[in-house]
Amino acid sequence: MALGMRRHLRPVAGRRQTDPGHPMLRPFPGLPGPLRRLWCCAALLALLAAPQPAAARPEDGPRVTACTAADAPAGPRLHVAVTGARRVAGNITITVYGPKPERFLASHAYLARQRVPLRTSSAEACFALAEPGIYAVAVYHDENDDHNFNRSLLGLPSEGYGFSNDAPTSVGLPSFDSVRFTVPPGESRMTIRLRY
């Protein structure tokens, strides 16, 4: 009897290792063949389209750091003041983007970001730029300090936000043309009022 059981188990174990149709070797075993292939293709495309780590690359735009950074470039200085916080909690996140419209608000496509702890209803940050040129700024009040721009269940912002030029956002996100500005040589100042 023991010999018969072993002989019965051998083909099943062998089939599992060699038969590509065996349920343990098929991805999405409950789906019919064409649907399974479609899901596999979708999963592969999702992996290929996944954002890559945000390493600073020269083609991303000019180098930008905090003014206090040891390796801060010697170019222009941009001072950004953010006003109108409804609560003194969390931090103000200030993000600087370069001259490429397709990179504005794209995931990990910014040149520099500073998180300023909120001590009053306003905050300020200084950015050292490698060169004068076209830039854009986006800010948000990270009230719960989770480093995410939170939204309600309906997708509406639940934290304050703003953009350079105080660009209007009545219907969706502002265009790059409405937020872009030119930084000249020397010192520049900008004030952005938060919207809730």
- CATH number of the domain that residue 147 is part of: 2.60.40
In the prediction, which pLDDT does 30 show? 58
Judgement on whether residues 40 and 114 belong to the same structural domain of the protein:
no
Residue 56 forms part of a structural domain: no
In the prediction, which pLDDT does 3 show? 52
Range of the domain at 120: 61-193
Judgement on whether residues 181 and 94 belong to the same structural domain of the protein:
yes
Judgement on whether residues 138 and 110 belong to the same structural domain of the protein:
yes
Residue 39 forms part of a structural domain: yes
Residue 6 forms part of a structural domain: no
Judgement on whether residues 66 and 38 belong to the same structural domain of the protein:
no
Residue 4 forms part of a structural domain: no
In the prediction, which pLDDT does 54 show? 39
Judgement on whether residues 163 and 72 belong to the same structural domain of the protein:
yes
- pLDDT 10s digit of each residue in the chain, 196 long? 455 544 444 444 444 455 555 454 455 555 565 555 544 434 433 433 333 333 344 456 899 999 999 999 999 999 999 999 999 999 999 999 999 999 999 999 999 999 999 999 999 999 999 999 999 999 999 999 999 999 999 989 999 999 999 998 887 899 999 999 999 999 999 999 999 9
Judgement on whether residues 127 and 91 belong to the same structural domain of the protein:
yes
Torsion of CA 109, 110, 114, 119, to 10 degrees: -90
Judgement on whether residues 81 and 169 belong to the same structural domain of the protein:
yes
In the prediction, which pLDDT does 57 show? 44
Residue 5 forms part of a structural domain: no
Residue 141 forms part of a structural domain: yes
In the prediction, which pLDDT does 33 show? 58
Judgement on whether residues 150 and 87 belong to the same structural domain of the protein:
yes
In the prediction, which pLDDT does 32 show? 60
Judgement on whether residues 26 and 109 belong to the same structural domain of the protein:
no
In the prediction, which pLDDT does 171 show? 79
Judgement on whether residues 100 and 26 belong to the same structural domain of the protein:
no
> How many other CB atoms are found less than 10 A from the CB of residue 96?
24
- Pairing state between β 77-83 and 187-193: parallel
Residue 174 forms part of a structural domain: yes
Q: How many residues does the chain have?
A: 196
- Predicted TM-score (pTM) of this structure: 0.69
Residue 94 forms part of a structural domain: yes
- Pairing state between β 187-193 and 123-129: unpaired
Dist. CA 103–CA 47, nearest whole Å: 20
In the prediction, which pLDDT does 21 show? 53
Judgement on whether residues 100 and 185 belong to the same structural domain of the protein:
yes
